[in-house]
Amino acid sequence: MMFSAARIAHRSGAASTYAFSATIVARALLYVTVALAVVRTPIDTATLAIAAFSAHTVVAGHGVPVVFGPESAAAGSLQGGVGWLGALAVTVAAATRLHLFIATIAVIILTLGLVEMRARRLSDATLGIAAAAVAALCSRDAVHAGGPLAAPLFVAALFALLERPTLRRAAAATALTVVWCNVSASGLFGGAFALATALGMTLDRADVAQRRASWLAAFGACLAGLATPAGFAYPLLAFRALRIDGTLADIVRVAPSASAPIGYHLGFMLVLVLGLGLGLRGLRFAGAVPALVTVGLGLANGADLPVVGVVVAPLLAAAAHRMRAIVPAGIAFPFALLAALGTNVAVNDPRADGGAAILAVRAARLHGVHRLFCAQPRWCAFAVVSGGRVLIDDRFDRAPAPVRDAQLALVKGRVTWRRVASRYRIDAILTGSDSTLGSLVRLAPGWRSFAVRGDATLFVGRNIRA
């Protein structure tokens, strides 16, 4: 059967219109799903409380103290990985719940948009959406108000600048990294990724002008930490705050909700399986070297998995585009739906921190209380805000190993709990009324129930008076 040229052109136009419409729908589905996940996920009130406390300290005292673990120490511009500029930004964004949700959604969508833009340059529009969906899946644990969003956003922006480096882009990358270092300890990643990209371009024997610009960007990014209140101490402080000296065993050992994101196994395995299946064929060193760096970060600390998605997802899209074995128009919806399952899984209702928060503040203000222990580390954030000393707060994954061991020994009510409490001079315990630890403390000599709020009970030593 013969077709006229006009009829063939008409059918081609219809197919193009369908593909264009499918792309729009897939993109809308992805971004709407992410926005719904942010709205439905509980707000990290403990992180916001610490950020507010840090911001107040920055403005009033021109420094950020750390009250963490068994000892107190000054840490320049860093507290739990949040820089002074990051603390101010979070505090301003959290003026109201609506402002906080809008700011969070804007940051996440901007990050995914940068990932999609980079992937689209390396492949096509449909695979660009698929790459954004993979990045969203890897970022599942960070998709909430108060989540760790600085690193994914700045990494995505940095790679957008370094993809085709010029002298002007090198200067912009340096300025971006300076801001990043003042926002978060993850600014340390800026220098590492800029160096990896410059090394890759050198191995690729890229154009001389591009190599020169990439090395200038790397030099500027590595020195960006000096433009912070921490100065020359920034690299060491940031390294300690990020806990990137861990091992895979450390990730498995610590509770997933604290050290490794909930989506760690699913997201990380998806990236690895796609990488092996697609082979990342034709990948240049400028993409391979940063990819190896970011996979290493993901293995060192599961909390860095969102960065893995941001860096690797566009490379996966480029590999799929080169293979031509997958029909692009047929994979946008599955990937978008996969991201929907990853980011918008049934979310529990937010827990009411009200009663426990009130008890934590009371404990911090009691005369004679040296250190408070909270069965839920996030409760202790409210004590920190009130100037109290705690064993550990919600920055569980950033605590030293002995402190984490002490926390687990107390939470599980092990036989050594009294020895641990004595060692860390804990004379106030905030725990669930029906918990194992609550039952043990209630029967232990030298302890008494001080106050009860809902399901939370505050126990204090008998020498502590109201």
65 pLDDT tier (thresholds 50, 70, 90): very low
Whether residue 251 contacts residue 302, with contact meaning beta carbons closer than 8 Å, is answered with yes
Helix (H) or strand (E) holding 352: none
Whether residue 463 contacts residue 368, with contact meaning beta carbons closer than 8 Å, is answered with yes
Residue 265: count of CB within 10 angstroms of its CB: 13
Backbone angles phi, psi at 306, to 5 degrees: -55, -35
Q: What is the pLDDT of residues 312-336, one digit of tens each?
A: 889 888 887 877 655 444 555 555 5
Distance from C-alpha of 352 to C-alpha of 299, rounded to nearest angstrom? 33
Contacts of 348 by beta carbon, 8 Å cutoff, 6+ apart = 42
% the chain with pLDDT above 90: 23
Q: How many CA atoms lie within 13 A of 409 on its CB side?
A: 17
Average pLDDT over residues 424-444: 90
Helix (H) or strand (E) holding 395: none
| Number of helical H runs and strand E runs in the chain | 20, 6
Whether residue 430 contacts residue 373, with contact meaning beta carbons closer than 8 Å, is answered with yes
What three-state secondary structure class fits 184? strand
Residue type, 406: A
Residue 102, token pair as written in the block: 């809008």
Distance from C-alpha of 386 to C-alpha of 219, rounded to nearest angstrom? 41
**Residue 404 in this model has a pLDDT that exceeds 80:** yes
59 pLDDT tier (thresholds 50, 70, 90): low
412 pLDDT tier (thresholds 50, 70, 90): confident
- Looking at the DSSP bridge assignments, the partners of residue 72 are 67
Q: Is the pTM value of this prediction over 0.75?
A: no
56 pLDDT tier (thresholds 50, 70, 90): low
**Residue 104 in this model has a pLDDT that exceeds 50:** yes
7 pLDDT tier (thresholds 50, 70, 90): very low
By DSSP bridging, strand 428-432 and strand 447-453 are: unpaired
Residue 2 has what DSSP assignment? -
179 pLDDT tier (thresholds 50, 70, 90): very high
| DSSP calls for 357-390 | HHHHHHHHHSTT---EEESSGGGHHHHHHTT--B
Task: Calculate the alpha carbon distances from 197 to 224, 311, 316, 321, 463 in Å.
Answer: 17, 11, 17, 22, 60
Distance from C-alpha of 282 to C-alpha of 276, rounded to nearest angstrom? 13
Q: What pLDDT does residue 213 have?
A: 95
By DSSP bridging, strand 372-374 and strand 428-432 are: parallel
**Residue 11 in this model has a pLDDT that exceeds 50:** no
Task: Calculate the alpha carbon distances from 109 to 25, 53, 234, 346, 390 in Å.
Answer: 16, 28, 29, 21, 36
Distance from C-alpha of 390 to C-alpha of 280, rounded to nearest angstrom? 48
The domain spans of the chain are 21-343, 354-461
